[in-house]
Amino acid sequence: MEIIQAKGFKLNIIELLKSENLPIDGINDDLENFLIAFENNIVYAAVGMEIYGKYALIRSLVVKNDSRNQGLAGRLILNIEDQAIKHEVIALFLLTETASTYFNKKGFNEIARTEVPIEVQQSNEFRYICPQSALVMKKSVVK
């Protein structure tokens, strides 16, 4: 299975997010910083990254229900981290209600909302899309 840029796959990503009851708000048409796990014209997993200066917000990590436990999410996270480094991002942030244990295993640590840089706090994901009950997690990506 290939990990590729998601350009041209917006409808597939939206369909996948909806199937897993994840928010679709704020997904841009260009999908510049979205990656997908793709094979035989099927999108099996996706992840996005919104860049805010030196920081980035990971969003919309999703894996098809019948494709879980195959390492797809982990591969997407590693690839998005590589992209973040190429963009000179020094820290990744994310919001989650259900996957904090998974992200902790990937090196993310829970932080207080007040510790998030103001640039990231201004994102739609942070302000409107994810509820206040969502945990905030951070990972440094400087190499």
What CATH number matches the domain at 2-140, 3.30.565.10, 1.10.1530.10, 3.40.630.30, 1.10.357.10?
3.40.630.30
pTM: 0.90
How far is the CA of 134 from the CAs of 39, 45, 119, 126, in angstroms? 32, 22, 18, 9
Highest-confidence segment of 2-6, 58-62, 103-107: 103-107
Which whole number is the average pLDDT over 42-65? 93
Domain boundaries, the chain: 2-140
Position 138 pLDDT exceeds 90: yes
Residue 138 CB-half CA count within 13 A: 16
Q: Are 13 and 76 in contact (CB under 8 A)?
A: no
Confidence at 143, pLDDT banded by 50, 70, 90: low
How far is the CA of 49 from the CAs of 40, 53, 110, 138, in angstroms? 25, 12, 18, 13
Which whole number is the average pLDDT over 83-95? 95
Q: Average pLDDT of the chain?
A: 90
